[in-house]
Amino acid sequence: AQTVTQSQPEMSVQEAETVTLSCTYDTSESDYYLFWYKQPPSRQMILVIRQEAYKQQNATENRFSVNFQKAAKSFSLKISDSQLGDAAMYFCAYNPDKIIFGKGTRLHILP
């Protein structure tokens, strides 16, 4: 079965510091896409960053970057210079043909 595992239900980070959220996935596919979505208290699902499995270069979007290890089936999200507005639930997601979500990591930002 295709699954996405986020082993950290909750994390906290000091404002302006860097935090890394972990994600692993299980697949037999060779071509797929990976995403991190953010869900703030408003409950809106917001796409943070995406990665194509056939690209070795790690994706970066401003303060957000990923560490994609295809052989290890690992896809972690690094948030640099954490801001109060980054507080949210973060979902790792995998798309071989439809998006499958992990259970999420709740990120708290400490002022």
Partner 1 sequence: DSGVTQTPKHLITATGQRVTLRCSPRSGDLSVYWYQQSLDQGLQFLIQYYNGEERAKGNILERFSAQQFPDLHSELNLSSLELGDSALYFCASSEGGGAGGYTFGSGTRLTVV
29 belongs to the binding site for partner 1 (CB under 8 A): no
> Is there a contact between 34 and 68 (Cβ–Cβ < 8 Å)?
yes
102 belongs to the binding site for partner 1 (CB under 8 A): yes
Residues 38-67 contacting partner 1, CB under 8 A: 42-47, 50, 52
Q: Taking contact as CB under 8 A, which single stretch among the options 18-26, 56-64, 70-78, 101-109 is the one that binds partner 1?
A: 101-109
Rg (Cα) of the chain, in Å, rounded?
Answer: 13
Q: Which residue, 81 or 99, has its beta carbon nearer to partner 1?
A: 99
Q: Which residue, 78 or 101, has its beta carbon nearer to partner 1?
A: 101
List the end-to-end C-alpha distance of the chain, in Å, as a whole number.
Answer: 40
**Distance (Å) of CA 100 to CA 26, 85, 92, 93, 109:** 11, 25, 9, 5, 26
How far apart, in whole angstroms, are the C-alpha atoms of residue 59 and residue 89?
20
Which of 38, 90, 104, 109 touches partner 1 by CB under 8 A? 104
Q: Which two tokens stand for residue 102?
A: 């992990």
Binding site for partner 1 (CB under 8 A): 33, 35, 37, 42-47, 50, 52, 91, 95, 97-104
